[in-house]
Amino acid sequence: MLTHQRVHTGEQPFRCCVCGKAFAYSSDLLAHEQVHTGKSPFTCSVCGKGFTQSSHLTEHQLVHSDQRPFKCPDCEKSFKNKKYLRTYQRLHSGEWPFNCSKCGMGFTRCLTFRHTCEFTLGRSRSPSLGVGRVHSVI
* 5-64 and 70-121, same CATH topology: yes
Name the residue with higher pLDDT: 132 or 23: 23
Predicted model pTM: 0.51
Rg of the Cα atoms in the chain: 21
Which tens digits make up the pLDDT trace of 93-134?
Answer: 888 887 777 787 787 777 545 666 666 655 544 443 444 444
| CATH number for the domain running over 5-64 | 3.30.160.60
Q: CATH assignment of 70-121? A: 3.30.160.60
The residue-averaged pLDDT of 17-27 equals 92
Q: Where are the domains of the chain?
A: 5-64, 70-121
Q: What is the sign, positive or negative, of the torsion defined by CA atoms of 83, 85, 86, 90? A: positive
3-state helix, strand, coil in the chain (%, to 5): 30, 10, 55
Query: Once rounded to an integer, what is the mean pLDDT over residues 78-104?
Result: 85
Give me the pLDDT at residue 119, please: 62
pLDDT at residue 35 greater than cutoff 90: no
Contact predicate 57/46, CB 8 Å? no
